[in-house]
Structure 1
């Protein structure tokens, strides 16, 4: 599991039927020191929790993503949580506004 930031949505009218019940989100890994900042390549994740643009989220990949989305859904990345607070070395480095 890792932290990522939601940058936007991906709209796809033609997709695998198992994906019909999910919103597709554009996410980018969160910065280690400042989770509200993102870095690296973007990826598309299925949203199983109702996350919004700008939120810091928990994402899982591989088999864990398929389990979270349901066994019948082809996915390699899933948003499984929305971060309220991130604490590192006893200091709050992120707090949801």
Structure 2
């Protein structure tokens, strides 16, 4: 399991998806603290919006934050109140 930080770039619009994904918003996340820009799709049930900084959980442990068995490997687990500052 990894905890990452990222910024919500946009929503993923999907007219057809697995029934188990119903109720989850899918977000495009720009990962922070990467050497190059890197984007991932994460499921969200807490209501993060475009431009917000979020905490992400990845890997098999994500299933503990889901309401049902769903093929998701990245989940928004928190919304960060202010832009994170990390010194080099």
Do they superpose with TM above 0.5? yes
What is the TM-score of this pair, normalised by structure 2?
0.82
- Runs (4+) of structure 1 exceeding 3 A deviation are none
Q: Larger C-alpha radius of gyration, 1 or 2?
A: 1
Displacement after TM superposition at 1:71 (Å): 4.2
- Of 16, 24, 33 in structure 1, the residue corresponding to residue 18 of structure 2 is 16
The answer to whether 1:78 aligns with 2:75 is yes
The answer to whether 1:45 aligns with 2:47 is no
Task: Name the Cα RMSD after superposition.
Answer: 2.0
Residue-by-residue CA offset, 1:13-49 (whole Å, 9 max, x unaligned): 11111111111000011237xxxxxx52211100021
The answer on whether the counterparts of 1:58 and 1:82 sit within 8 Å (CA) in structure 2 is: yes
Structure 2, unaligned runs of 5 or more: none
How many pairs were matched up?
83
* 1:90 aligned partner: none
* 1:35 aligned partner: none
Larger RCO (CA under 8 A, 6+ residues apart)? 2
